[in-house]
Amino acid sequence: MGDVSPFNPRELGLKVTVGDMLQIAAAFGETMNAGLANEPSSLKMLPSFLRKPSGTECGEFLAVDFGGTNIRVQKVHLAGQGRWEIKDSQAVPLKNLVAGYDVTAATADAMELFDFVANQIGKLAEINTPYYLGHTFSFPCHQHGIHQAELISWTKEIKTAGVEGQDIGQLLTSALKRRGLNHITPCAIINDTVGTLLTGAYVDTKTDIGAICGTGHNTCYYDSVRDTIINMESGNFDLLPMNAYDFQLDATSDNPKTQRLEKMVAGYYLGELVRLVGKEFMSLPAIPYALTSEDVARIISGEISRHPEIAALEPRELVVLKEIGTCMVERSLKLVTASFLGVLGRIDPKLKRPHTIVIDGSLYEKMPGYASGLVASLKEVLGNQGDKLTIKLSKDGSGVGAAIAAAIVAGAQE
Ligand code: BGC
């Protein structure tokens, strides 16, 4: 290859400044207001019908986590006083081409998908034990009650036919009946962000923001005026400084013009963004989405790539690729920071109280520099005021949160 052209992140629209973060945060807050007032808004602001837990919820529950990559079924024991134990846990991928199935493809339908889910539940549940089941379903749903959730539209490139517009609670209940699992009572459907917040608040009452930074991205918060947790579906926020690569990625995605923030920050898209920018400077794998966020993590930490094209790059090209990866990760965490600032500006503009923000997801947990960068950028904007914030990883939020939601519905308290 010839010379690597100088990579200029600012010129390519990859830098997010403090000024940008403040501007995005203000726009985010206004968009929240519009969504809450039922005005046109890219933030759906979906009520969960759940308050914060008291921490005294207890008992044994089944939890199903349907996030888009795997289906995980867990038996969760809530012990009260913010303690729990995961007694059993099994996960299977929704798509396994070697085993010859893909229940997320357009050729699969709702019945096939939910029979698959019910089957996994059947493997874990004991036959003669009655269970309440909480279901984490990590997609935008209009909730009409804690156990009535109508899927608005798929995200994260899932395509299963006949699920959009349907009641997820009904689909799972029917599938469990078809399989003869009448001793299992599904009683709560929650978003994964809500599960994360519930799990955080079970231990720490100051928790009022829950987010996922993983394959997908989204944030929820506790609205004290409405006394409910609101799933913002913030991945769809769209008042953002998009660059040419963002437009390119969006145009070829399954759902163009939607999930703009998610497409700029989430793990599903990060590798592709790095590939799109990087191939301007060097030769990279030609297949769209050939690079995953794990590849980006390897590039940033200087590990040898599993892609022959990357392994064959010259050292100076690898330096540029690393810079692109780092820039993309930094942009992701700064945009997420801006959205948190938007929420804080709405729920406590003068930061009079301490707040705990709980986050789950592979990007936050595993991407080098992500978690520390998020804290640093919040501090960069807020200065000393930033000391009022605690930002924590909340692992297992999807499963434990579903159990907490089921316990709230079942009225199971210490
Ligand atoms: C979905 C959200 C979900 C997020 C994280 C997004 O694609 O729309 O409902 O919370 O992914 O899993």
141: part of which helix (H) or strand (E)? strand 141-145
245: part of which helix (H) or strand (E)? helix 244-251
**Mean pLDDT of the residues in the chain:** 96
* SS3 call for 126: coil
CA dist 96 → 57, 102, 117, 311 (Å): 37, 6, 15, 27
**Residue 248: count of CB within 10 angstroms of its CB:** 13
In this structure, which amino acid lies at residue 179?
R
Q: Residue 19 burial by CB count (10 A; 0-12/13-18/19+): exposed, middle or buried?
A: exposed
Measured from the Cα of 155, ligand 1's closest atom is 7
Nearest CA to ligand 1 atom 3: 138
Cβ–ligand 1 contact at 196 (below 6 Å): no
Ligand 1 centre to CA of 304 (Å) is 31
Cβ–ligand 1 contact at 292 (below 6 Å): no
pLDDT in tens, 349-398: 999 999 999 999 999 999 999 999 999 999 999 999 999 999 999 988 98
pLDDT in tens, 177-211: 999 999 999 999 999 999 999 999 999 999 999 99
pLDDT at position 275 is: 98
**Is residue 413 predicted with pLDDT exceeding 90?**
no
Query: How many degrees, rounded to 5, is the angle at CA 64 between CA 61 and CA 67?
Result: 150
Task: Show Cβ contacts of residue 357 under 8 Å, excluding neighbours closer than 6 positions.
Answer: 207, 209, 210, 211, 340, 389, 390, 391, 392
Q: How far apart are CA 30 and CA 63, in angstroms?
A: 35
Q: How far apart are CA 402 and CA 64, in angstroms?
A: 7
83: part of which helix (H) or strand (E)? strand 83-93
**Greater model confidence, 378 or 4:** 378
Q: How far apart are CA 400 and CA 139, in angstroms?
A: 18
Cβ–ligand 1 contact at 67 (below 6 Å): yes
pLDDT in tens, 90-140: 999 999 999 999 999 999 999 999 999 999 999 999 998 999 999 999 999
Residues paired with residue 59 on neighbouring β-strands, in sequence order: 78
**Residue 74: count of CB within 10 angstroms of its CB:** 24
**What is the mean pLDDT of the segment spanning 70-80?**
96
Cβ–ligand 1 contact at 260 (below 6 Å): no
Q: For the chain, what is the largest distance between any 2 Cα atoms, rounded to a whole number of angstroms?
A: 69
Q: Which two tokens stand for residue 75?
A: 């038996």
CA atoms within 13 A on the CB side of 54: 10
**Is residue 1 predicted with pLDDT exceeding 50?**
no
